[in-house]
Chain A
Amino acid sequence: MKLKKLRKISRRNALQLIAGFTGTAILPSISFAQSNQALNRINEITKGLGATESDIYLDLPEIAENGNQVKVSFEMDSPMTESDYIKTVYIFADGNPSPNVAKFSFTPVMGSCSATTRIRLSKTQNVYLLAENNNGQFLMTNAQVKVTIGGCGG
């Protein structure tokens, strides 16, 4: 079926098609490498084990008018006892010049695992949260933020 259809296409169209295909084949590989720097970091930290997608409360504006000051809050559901607590929370941004944004180290005496800060986002992108508990298990979530004016300078 496909062969028959292809034969009907003129030489010019066929060339355009091929050009189009190769174009789309090359482009994703480039954007893949760039847009997943956050996921690459997550892979590095979890040593390839990956993290479980979880519905962690990650509060970010849907649209940030000013990328210089984007408020981010998160809260994890954890008993925060000596035997079961969230040890570390990382925040990554996949569209910033560097994926690392912040690393929070929690202790069970805090009683709750939540924090707020303000971050810079250079463009519209996904923000990832990766959490590690004291047993070495990883949880993650992400949220997209549309940035009107970028905030990384340059």
Chain B
Amino acid sequence: MSSIKPRVKVPKEVSIDEIVEIKTLIRHPMHSGRMKDVDGQTIPRQIINSFSAKFNGKEVFQMDLEPSISTNPFIVFQYKAKESGKFDFEWIDDNGETYSISKEMVVS
């Protein structure tokens, strides 16, 4: 699904020990398995069931998503900057597909 594109906002430059806010958004219908299409057919469940954030290869945050999470999952969390490095964000779909994006952060 090429329509699924994650977007992440990470501050590029931060000072040491600063708690930064990381905002993520992914375009995804999050079919809960309860909604019906125009013909009255139930749309089968297809959601993003997991989100994770790694910093320099080490997992720092993980979230399990359920059908009760809204369309286009929006997740915000905080992180304490200790060293420069790279964030790797990954979303896992019910169908096994993964969507990922990386962002660099410089700590001065």
Contact = CB atoms under 8 A, between A and B. Distances in A.
Contact of A105 (B19, B58, B62, B80): B62
Interface of B: 17, 19, 32, 34-36, 55, 58-71, 73-80, 82
Contacts of B74: 116-118
B60 A110 contact: yes
A154 B37 CA distance: 10
Interface residues of A, number: 33
B61 A106 contact: yes
Interface of A: 68-70, 73, 80, 93, 96-98, 100-107, 109-112, 114-121, 151-154
A120 B76 contact: no
B69 A98 contact: no
B66 A109 contact: no
A102 B64 CA distance: 6
Contacts of B61: 104-107, 110
A52 to B, nearest CB: 23
